[in-house]
Amino acid sequence: AVISLLFSCSYAVSSKIEPFYKGGKVQVSFKDEKYIFCTCGSRVTVLEISTGKVVHSVEHDDQEDITSFALSCDDELLVTASRALLLKQWDWRQAQCTRSWRAIHTVPVASMTFDSTSTLLATGGCDGTIKLWDVVKQYCTHNLKGSSGVIHLVQFHPDISRLQLFSSSLDCGIRLWDLRSSQCVCVLQSHYSAVTSLSFSPDGGTMVSSGRDNICTVWDLESRKAKRTVPVYESVEGVVLLPKSKDFSQIGVKNQELHFITAGSKGILRVWEASTARCVYTQTLTTASENEVEEEEKDADSRSLMYLLHLPASSRLATVTAEHNILLYQLPDLTTQQQFVGYSDEVLDVKFLGKDDSHIVVATNSSQLKVFDLLTNSCQILYGHTDTVFSLDVFKKGFLFASCAKDRSVCVWQMDSGSGQVCCVARGSGHSNAVGSITCSKMKASFIVSGSQDCTVKVWDLPADVTATGLGVHQLTARTTEKAHEKDVNSVAVSPNDKLLASGSQDRTAKLWSLAGEGNLGLLGVFRGHRRGVWTVCFSPVDQVLASSSADGTTKLWSLQDFSCLKTFEGHDASVLKVIFVSRGTQLLTSGSDGLVKLWTIKTNECVKTLDGHQDKVWGLHGSRRDDRMVTGSADSNITVWVDVTEVELAEEQAKREDQILKQQELFNLLQEKKYLKALGLAISLDQPHTVLTVIKAIRQAEDSSELLEKTVLKLRVDQKESLLQYCAVWNTNARNCQDAQVVLQVLLTHVPPEELLQYQGARNHLEGLIPYTERHMQRIGRLLQASMFLNYMWQKMRVAGAPSSMGQDEEMDTTPLAQPFFTIDREKEVEKEEEEDEVSITQKAKGVRVENGKSAKTNGTQHSESEESSDEEEHEDEMDQTRENVMKRLPVSSATQCQTAAS
């Protein structure tokens, strides 16, 4: 048992980071501001801000994508609209649909909103119409026509007594609807592009609109005219008016004039003074490429903001980026409070990070890196690369890690051990193509090695003070560059002693290099044997072996001494993308394109466990330093943390065995004490049909067995009777146990009403299974009864032949059966028939009488031809000879001798 604990046998999911927002509308709960509502395909997910976890989710049964949704101002009602043109009202806390109705729109609903009383719901369709619904009385109140194109914005005036609705469509005008007359009062014309958001002042007299035409317009709602047009020099997606009652001096608000915040394509928040159209504050984002204008322009698309939401109760702002990230800022200083990643797209690599592996760093199909706190799911988004990050590796202590990307650069990042904040400390570039793999030195943070699609491997030395704070970003230069392979370098790995380097390539080979010298890399040998490109290479932490995984679906172990293949592991149906050593180098974990993670024991070449937790390629696989957890990242956008549960499962199994032994002993004691009801209940609770059968047999062997069995079975609970019926169906398939099954079945069928019996779980299937076997047992026992009666008859006649001569041939035969049959047969008619035919010879009786189902039937008395009679006599003589031989075999030796003498 101690040796077996050295090997891992099973992993269980500890936690998951799943996508919860894939674009579309985002809304925050109004009253408590604790939840964020997001669209995610055919679902609306509810994210709890404090924990960063999805706590509720509502989904349409038809799997149609949700086009829009709205949460009522009292946080009670959630209404969703799908492409199936259905509106559904939800109790979102219970994830139950309380009502659904046709949207009446001829095309999908594009926008929705509730009024402040949570009574009226406005829906704007792609057909240019607006419908208003009374959700309390459940009917359509207004049908507003006149807009052109898609209604992408509907919003009630905050003062519901005005009964005004604002809308915007493709004609770029803002329509003001009077709900009393159902007429469009006016069209506010100022924008030349789509209007994206509206924000109202607390008194309801001023409104600010934003558009993608790079302007914001301040409107006087009393005169319904534009007071000011503010050029903001970016496509604006969201605008929020700042309340005048609070101090916002930290963000440039120096007077009581009207100020508003904008969010747009530049990815930053800016504060504007409405009266002067002047920007008084611009948010700054620190990046590694802050001074490089070209890279900032490339990075702008991923940073652009799509929504800006105001949380007045907690004085916060929420922004949603084009990369599906949700960021929360605290007013008045606009400090970043929390960040959530709604959708990561493909996860390309993932590594444990921090003290006790408290964080994970993730490379996705993006130029940004994400660092997740596993406890709270809060995320830091790291800007430094300008194109997709491909690979990651972490130094030994866990606070320093390196990344490489498609932008041909490598970066080194440091996590602050106290605050957990991560910043870029070093950066290097020099490859002529995308850098696909990177690895760190194992002994101390002295160098990194990168492999690129330009077929080269570079070694980068790190400065000694790379971890010192306040020194800015170090510029790295490559110590050496080596043309390593003929095709892309997919993987590089450094040995535990920092003296060897392994590289795997698309050219189907892996190579071993010496890192000992200060000059160029020295080639030590080539590993040949894979039939496709090599995806990953990995050194064993204890042995002089190298593991490699390939697109040919195999994983191989190689000797570092003679470069021979030691073992090959086959089991994946597709490319093996990653391989790592676990359990102190005695086992391997591999992940493949088939979405599976497999655990292998090296000594036996056996696949111990297959973990099916992903739906797409598993690119990321990493084990914790304590060897008790691993993390996987997949192209299905899911990140899963697995925990080793081998010891837990062994302990549970041991406890289960001990409990079984105790229960078996208790069962034995109950049987000894003849407490059959408790014994039967305990046996059923063990879910062991054979044990239950043993108890039934014990009951049948007791005195007054039929009454005792009936009394015991009928006292069982309904669920126990269900199990007993199921066991009967199993026992009945075996001739040895069929009598026990039939006895129990007789009790159930006799005393349990058919209606109640049919309510048992699986009762119909069990009863259908009982019928054919019961018929077979009936036929078998019928044949056995016929044979026993014939044998009894033969035995009586043989005894008569050896009797004194005073006994006459017409002496009545003893027809008492040898053993009491289980199925009773009416014997009265049989005796009467035998008395009537007492004068008939033995031969004629054997020819003319046939016993069927306990009744004698005469054969047809029609005249037979001589040939038929002779053939019948021959057949009868053969049957008699065969019967005589069978009888002689069954009789004791003395009886057999006597019979032979009598026969002669």
pLDDT recorded at residue 854: 40
> pTM for the full model?
0.71
Residue 290: phi, psi to the nearest 5? -60, -35
263 inside domain:
no
pLDDT recorded at residue 843: 36
Tokens of 363: 């490379």
pLDDT recorded at residue 288: 41
pLDDT recorded at residue 596: 94
Tokens of 82: 């799908």
Q: Distance between CA 456 and CA 482 in Å, rounded?
A: 5
pLDDT recorded at residue 823: 41
Low-confidence ranges of the chain (pLDDT < 50): 1-5, 287-299, 805-813, 815-877, 879-880, 883-884, 887-904
| DSSP-assigned beta bridge partners for residue 349 | 363
- Does residue 686 come out as left (phi exceeding 0), alpha (psi in the -120 to 50 range) or beta? alpha
Q: Distance between CA 711 and CA 721 in Å, rounded?
A: 13
Element (H, E) at 536: strand 534-539
Q: Distance between CA 896 and CA 212 in Å, rounded?
A: 113
pLDDT recorded at residue 862: 37
pLDDT recorded at residue 633: 94
Q: What is the residue-wise DSSP string for 154-179?
A: EEE-S-GGG-EEEEE-TT--EEEEET
List the strands of the sheet with 66-71, edge to edge. Answer: 66-71, 78-82, 86-91, 96-102
pLDDT recorded at residue 839: 37
Domain count along the chain? 2
Q: Which of 550, 568, 585 represents a domain boundary (last residue)?
A: 585
726 inside domain:
yes
731 inside domain:
yes
Q: Distance between CA 231 and CA 879 in Å, rounded?
A: 115
Q: Distance between CA 695 and CA 445 in Å, rounded?
A: 69
* Shared-domain flag, residues 363 and 490: yes
* Shared-domain flag, residues 580 and 691: no
Q: Distance between CA 567 and CA 574 in Å, rounded?
A: 19
Q: Which of 525, 552, 585 represents a domain boundary (last residue)?
A: 585
185 inside domain:
no
pLDDT recorded at residue 801: 58
534 inside domain:
yes
Cite the DSSP H helix spans in 262-397.
293-303
Q: Distance between CA 146 and CA 139 in Å, rounded?
A: 22
Q: Which of 780, 805, 828 represents a domain boundary (last residue)?
A: 780
101 inside domain:
no
pLDDT recorded at residue 279: 92
Residue 506 maps to which CATH number? Answer: 2.130.10.10
pLDDT recorded at residue 686: 80
* Shared-domain flag, residues 449 and 579: yes
* Shared-domain flag, residues 581 and 683: no
724 and 744 Cβ atoms separated by less than 8 Å:
yes
Q: Distance between CA 264 and CA 666 in Å, rounded?
A: 74
Angle at 392 between CA 388 and CA 393, to 5 degrees: 165
* Shared-domain flag, residues 454 and 357: yes
491 inside domain:
yes
* Shared-domain flag, residues 374 and 499: yes
| DSSP-assigned beta bridge partners for residue 143 | 131
Enclosing domain of residue 755: 674-780
Beta strands 120-125; 109-114: pairing state: antiparallel
515 and 498 Cβ atoms separated by less than 8 Å:
yes
Q: Distance between CA 824 and CA 830 in Å, rounded?
A: 13
Element (H, E) at 478: strand 478-483
| Closest C-alpha to 342, from 377, 382, 376 | 377
Neighbours of 396 (CB within 10 A): 14
